[in-house]
Amino acid sequence: MKKEIRNFCIIAHIDHGKSTLADRLLESTGTVTTRQMKEQLLDDLELERQRGITIKARAVAMKYQRGGIEYELNLIDTPGHVDFQYEVSRSLACCEGALLLVDAFQGVEAQTVANAYAALEHDLTIVPVINKIDLMNARPDEVAEEMMNSLGTDPFECVRVSAKTGLGVNDLLEAIIERIPAPTGDPNAPLQAMVFDSNYDDYRGAITYVRIMQGTVKRGHKIKFARKGSVHEVVELGQFAPARVSCNELSAGQVGYLICNIKSLGDVHIGDTVVDNIDKSAPALPGYARPKRMVYCGLFPSDGQEFTDLRDALERLAVNDPSFEFEPETSDALGFGFRCGFLGLLHMEIIQQRLENESDIDLVQTAPNVTYEVVDKRGNTHTIHKPQDVPDPGDIEEFRQPIVRCSIIVPNDYIGSVMKLCQERRGIQRAHEILGANRTMLTYHIPLAEVVYDLHDKIKSATKGYGTLDYEMVGFEPADLCRLDIMVNGNRVDALAIVCHRADADRRGRAVAKKLKSEIERHMFEVAVQAAIGSRVIARETVPAMRKNVTAKCYGGDITRKRKLLQKQKEGKKRMKAVGNVEISQKAFMAVLSDGE
């Protein structure tokens, strides 16, 4: 039975046609009928369909007849965006082979190279595939040469397909069966299964997605999660085709799901090992490396009453997406909320939209920031996730920022503008590699804070959409950084504090102060809006007081009468300022936090 199983995933740069190719494979193998067919069939999140991108990896089992033998092909469709690299790494651990998909016009891109190396690290058999050969301006021969130069693949082994029209898909199915090895693992050995994903169903509890490494699991079996130590009975098991289809057993090499009526979300950990509760001799699998959260921000409910709803929604999301983490925090300005860690800015945007769409919660989000390290005068190293935690300047020995290695693939015509862009972001060039007749890969070390906000968009603009970016963490390096505080009427507003390079502090401080001045409503007294580094104020704007013309009724007479009335008004405003509070509306916060600055 095992000889007829093939486990593979599709890896590629964003928009190279992974989900469309998955659709054609489902159609060609007869897994779904023409009537059931729709575009991006495996992208079942509403956000995925709206944006046209894959966010979650999806598994599906297909049956394929060849020479009187029925093969079982288990496909895992993966995302292409750099922020969802963790989804890709989890999928690679469950496969023996990978289809490396490259666009016949765009050629090898930054994420193609990163994914190919990740597949080689997992010892997968790579089947190179050139997609979109039906395009008018397709250049498959040049792309095959590019793949050979950058990835070392044989140009004659490239399978040429059009995922849109279905051209060459049958040749690809043959290549999958011939080139990708069958899984190893003994169906009669003690049970050992890898949990590679999970989902929460309101009616069935936690649904665990597993790849059986060895042994067999049947309905009614008692299983144990090795890491958590909890024991459960298997109520239902089956495979995805692409909807859930139950069966009686799953054996070594197969990919499927287990339902054990698990109501507690904390019992299922992605990367855990499922073993038999009686025969526990199978060792736990190594699991996955912990994802590195790159970006942190605060999420607060705009209505304080929704705090518990937000916590429940975040718990449900964390089960489905282990690369996201959260912990409670409080803010003087925004009340109770959560500090959340994400893999990147797109990941943050997706989580926020999923919360709003799936749980109907209105959110306020603080300015995103990356993780820093601070060494104090006593030699202790602190990890800083939010600007409020940065110690006073006098107590800082060294301030370190995260540095990433950026691989940027650009057409030769745009090299100059991309180099200028990277130098403006304090980037240091590390390599310059020519990939083909008209394409170059530039490698830079750039501070993560400069990359994460808008470098991707700026590179797209500078290269008319042809440039692509991929980045990976290198480590922390010392830099001239500071905490920029925003003060309103002498009081620090914690939600608006940011960490930035000292050279940028003046510009950013002025911009935030100016924006706040236009957003804060006028009070009965003057309101000072200041930007400060430590005790040094670097920018100030003043919101003028509302004024009543107290001298309106004084017609003629001695000037001292007017002065007396004005003096009385001045003292009243001074007294009011001493005891009055400045109300900063939610709208003012949103305006500053959503501003490009």
Does domain 192-276 fall into CATH 2.40.30.10? Answer: yes
- The answer to whether residue 343 scores a pLDDT higher than 60 is yes
Among left, alpha and beta (phi > 0; psi -120 to 50; other), residue 534 is left
Q: What tokens were used for 40?
A: 């991006």
**By the 8 A CB rule, do 25 and 75 touch?**
yes
Is the domain defined by 373-478 classed in CATH 3.30.70.240?
yes
Percent of the chain exceeding pLDDT 70 equals 87
User: Residue 520 pLDDT more than 50?
Assistant: yes
Half-sphere exposure of 322 (CA within 13 A, CB side): 23
- pLDDT computed for residue 96 by the predictor: 87
Average pLDDT over every residue of 524-540: 85
**Cα separation, 64 vs 77, whole angstroms:** 18
Average pLDDT over residues 391-412: 87
Strand spans (E) along 353-438? 363-365, 369-370, 372-376, 381-384, 396-411, 428-434
Which residue carries 């940027």 as its tokens?
408
| Cβ proximity of 312 and 259 under 8 Å | no
- Match 């750039």 to its residue by tokens: 446
332 is in an annotated binding site: no
Query: Which residue spans within 68-152 are E strands per DSSP?
Result: 69-77, 97-103, 125-131
19 is in an annotated binding site: yes
Q: What is the dihedral of CA 527, 530, 534, 538, to 10 degrees?
A: -150
Predicted local confidence at residue 444, as pLDDT:
92
Average pLDDT for residues 573-594, to the nearest whole number?
61
- Whether residue 597 is predicted with pLDDT greater than 50 in this model: the reply is no
Please tell me whether 18 is known to bind a ligand. yes
Task: Please state the domain extents for the chain.
Answer: 2-179, 192-276, 295-367, 373-478, 507-532+540-593
pLDDT of residue 249: 85
Instruction: Find which of 194-208, 213-227, 301-315, 419-433 is predicted with most confidence, using mean pLDDT.
Output: 419-433
The residue that leads in pLDDT, 451 or 557, is: 451
The CATH-assigned architecture of domain 295-367 is 2-Layer Sandwich (3.30)
Q: Are 130 and 167 in contact (CB under 8 A)?
A: no
- Report the range of poorest mean pLDDT among 86-100, 333-347, 487-501, 580-594: 580-594
Inter-residue contact 130 to 141 (CB < 8 Å)? no
Could you write out the DSSP letters of every residue in 467-500? Answer: -EEEEEEEEEEE--EEEEEEEETTEE-GGG-EEE
Query: In the beta sheet, which residues pair with residue 10?
Result: 77, 99
* Residue 20 assigned ligand-binding role: yes
What average pLDDT does range 522-538 have in this prediction? 84
* Range in 59-63, 205-209, 538-542, 556-560 with the lowest mean pLDDT: 556-560
Cα 275–chain centre separation? 31
d(CA 583, CA 562): 32
Strands 125-131 and 159-160: what pairing?
A: parallel
The burial of 547, by beta-carbon neighbours within 10 Å (0-12 exposed, 13-18 middle, 19 or more buried), is given as exposed
- Same topology between domain 295-367 and domain 373-478: yes
Task: State the average pLDDT for the chain.
Answer: 81
In this structure, the number of other CB atoms found within 10 A of the CB of residue 552 comes to: 8
Q: Check the annotation: does 74 bind a ligand.
A: no
pLDDT confidence of 298, banded at 50, 70, 90? confident
Question: What are 134-176's pLDDT values in tens digits?
Answer: 888 888 898 888 888 888 888 888 899 888 888 888 888 888 8
Identify residue 24 by its one-letter amino acid code: R
- pLDDT attached to residue 591: 64
Contact 296, 342 (CB under 8 A): yes
**Residue 23 counted as an annotated binding residue:** no
Closest CA to 44 of 23, 58, 33: 58
Q: Which residue, among 380, 384, 382, has the nearest Cα to 371 in the 3D structure?
A: 384
Give strand pairing partners of 257.
Answer: 209, 238
Tokens of 336: 């109770």
Range in 32-46, 93-107, 124-138, 159-173 with the lowest mean pLDDT: 32-46
Which residue reads 């016949």 in tokens?
A: 104
| Beta carbons of 412 and 441 less than 8 angstroms apart | no
Sign, Cα dihedral of 350, 352, 358, 360: negative
Written as one letter, the residue type at 421 is L
User: What does the pLDDT read at residue 85?
Assistant: 66
Query: Is 15 among the annotated ligand-binding positions?
Result: yes
- pLDDT tier for residue 596 given thresholds of 50, 70 and 90: very low
Is the pLDDT confidence value at 55 over 80?
no
DSSP lists the bridge partners of residue 161 as none
Q: Which residue has the higher pLDDT, 429 or 282?
A: 429
272 is in an annotated binding site: no
What does pTM read for this prediction?
0.73
Q: Which of 177, 157, 153 is nearest to 96 (CA)?
A: 177
pLDDT at 419: 92
Q: What is the tens place of the pLDDT at every residue in 427-469? A: 999 988 887 778 888 999 999 888 877 788 788 888 887 888 8
> Using the 8-state DSSP alphabet, how is residue 405 labeled?
E
Q: Are 528 and 489 in contact (CB under 8 A)?
A: yes
Lowest average pLDDT, out of 51-60, 273-282, 324-333, goes to 51-60
- For residue 452, what is the enclosing H or E element? helix 448-452
Helices (H), 153-272: 169-179
Contacts 24+ apart (CB under 8 A), 410-413: 410/439, 410/440, 410/442, 410/459, 410/463, 410/466, 410/467, 411/438, 411/439, 411/440, 411/463, 411/466, 411/467, 412/438, 412/439, 412/440
The fourth-level CATH superfamily of domain 2-179 is P-loop containing nucleotide triphosphate hydrolases (3.40.50.300)
Torsion angle in degrees (nearest 10) through CA of 272, 471, 318, 7: -40
**Hey, what amino acid is at 497?**
A
User: Which tops the pLDDT comparison, 34 or 571?
Assistant: 571
Average pLDDT, integer, range 163-190? 87
Amino acid at 481: L
